[in-house]
Chain A
Amino acid sequence: MALISVEVNGTRRQHEVEPRLLLVQYLRETLGLTGTNIGCDTSSCGACTVLLNGESVKSCTLLAVQADETEIVTIEGLGGSDGTLHPVQEAFREHHALQCGYCTPGMVMAAVSLLAEEDQLDERGVREGLEGNLCRCTGYHNIVKAVLACAADKETLTGSSS
């Protein structure tokens, strides 16, 4: 067993874990944060995407011990504590960027990471930036629209397009 200390959604968590425990299992089963889904379980589909120190990672392909002393944000930690949605969540709702919803938590987390990294995004940039996330319902169009809307808002806010 190994002792890990992780800040998850702003709260410090400490647990003795088996070294082979995957981060996604730690989040779902140890912490009860079931918003992060397991899809393919082979680092292809991106349903399990969370932020590790602000960057998107696939939590099915990380050991919980590798996340020791890091900051993790899951879909549960994205919005305000009063229930307000994060702008990316809001955009997904506004643009109907989901149908069954299974890929959505991972898709949102990947989009948050992409938006943080890129000052300017066009459609191609969004599609390439989300290549690690598969959706089997929407055909991606509305997901791309939602992320592009966030990118446009960001440019307006930061003036990075000028």
Chain B
Amino acid sequence: MIPAAFDYARAGSVEEAIALLVEHGDEAKLVAGGHSLVPLMKLRLAIPSVLIDIGRVAGLSYIEERGDEIAIGALARHHDLETSVLLKEQVPLLAFTAHQVGDPQVRHRGTLGGTLAHGDPASDLPAAVLALGGTLVAQGPHGRREIAAPDFFRGFLETALAVDEVLVEIRVPKVAGAGWSFQKFNRRAQDWAIVGVAAVINGTAGIALVNMGATPLRATAVEEAVRHGATAADAATAAEVGTDPPSDINASSEYRRHLATVLVRRALEEASS
């Protein structure tokens, strides 16, 4: 399968990428690792006329401590996340979740910024960033702005990024010592999650769902139940509140609702143990 023809431009810096986005508008797409976009282009579900390659922009692959947070450059790859000693110590949920994405080849190319900006509700890492209450930093022609993770995902493959903005950084709170869990249910090793659950219990609970609606979702009803002292099993009954899971070849929406209840219970139990 061959993508439709497009013009290719390699950006040497974020500023250059923004200038190219300003020039080409929504005809253009940014590409980093390309492991979400290139498959869509091969299927001709995405037909950008200009591809702006930010994969070589220097200085955007860091994973570093910044006060109470860990700051991650948007070009840090899943492989960088899963092997980061700092992340394993301070935000183990994120390192573990990165290891659940695809397979080693995919993790050698896919980036954290790419998977977030793609906004696929079936992706694993957006749910982890949601559960952690992360902050996303977008840079546009007029500088940088911060977007709280729950405000970032707007619709199916739609995010809060403007057409002239580049996602440059992701920050998540340090949660060393917090309880956490990532539950992924799929049929084959490298598959997308049929349903997934990310959970962090650190005084308060952060729970997010994979593939239970048009966007990665926070399970706010579950979080509230946990806050009021509900058991894992009782809190998990609220897993489907506010969801709108798809029916597809893998599972009906009814099955996904049931699965969410089971996986949220398991996640809460593991995170509390």
Rounded to whole angstroms, the CA-CA distance of A44 and B31 in the bound complex is 20
Rounded to whole angstroms, the CA-CA distance of A25 and B51 in the bound complex is 19
Query: Is B109 touching A131 in the complex (CB atoms < 8 A)?
Result: no
In the complex, whether B204 has a CB less than 8 A from a CB of chain A is no
Query: Is A41 touching B42 in the complex (CB atoms < 8 A)?
Result: yes
Query: Is B2 touching A22 in the complex (CB atoms < 8 A)?
Result: yes
Query: Is B3 touching A132 in the complex (CB atoms < 8 A)?
Result: no
Name B's interface SS: mixed
CB-defined contacts of B6 to chain A, threshold 8 Å: 19-20
CB-defined contacts of B2 to chain A, threshold 8 Å: 20, 22, 25
CB-defined contacts of A25 to chain B, threshold 8 Å: 2
Name A's interface SS: mixed
* Chain A 48-83 interface residues, beta-carbon cutoff 8 Å to B: 49, 52, 55-58, 61-63, 65-66, 68
Which residues of B approach A to under 8 Å, CB–CB? Answer: 1-8, 10, 31, 34-35, 38-39, 41-42, 51, 53, 55, 79, 102-106, 108-109, 189-190
Q: Which 7 A-B pairs have the closest CB atoms?
A: A132-B103, A19-B8, A131-B189, A20-B3, A55-B108, A132-B105, A58-B105
Query: Is B35 touching A43 in the complex (CB atoms < 8 A)?
Result: yes
Q: How many residues does chain A have at the interface if contact means C-beta atoms less than 8 Å apart? A: 32
Nearest A residue (CB) for B1:
A41
Rounded to whole angstroms, the CA-CA distance of A5 and B213 in the bound complex is 43
Rounded to whole angstroms, the CA-CA distance of A63 and B51 in the bound complex is 11
CB-defined contacts of A20 to chain B, threshold 8 Å: 2-6, 41
Set B8, B34, B104: member contacting A61, Cβ < 8 A: B34
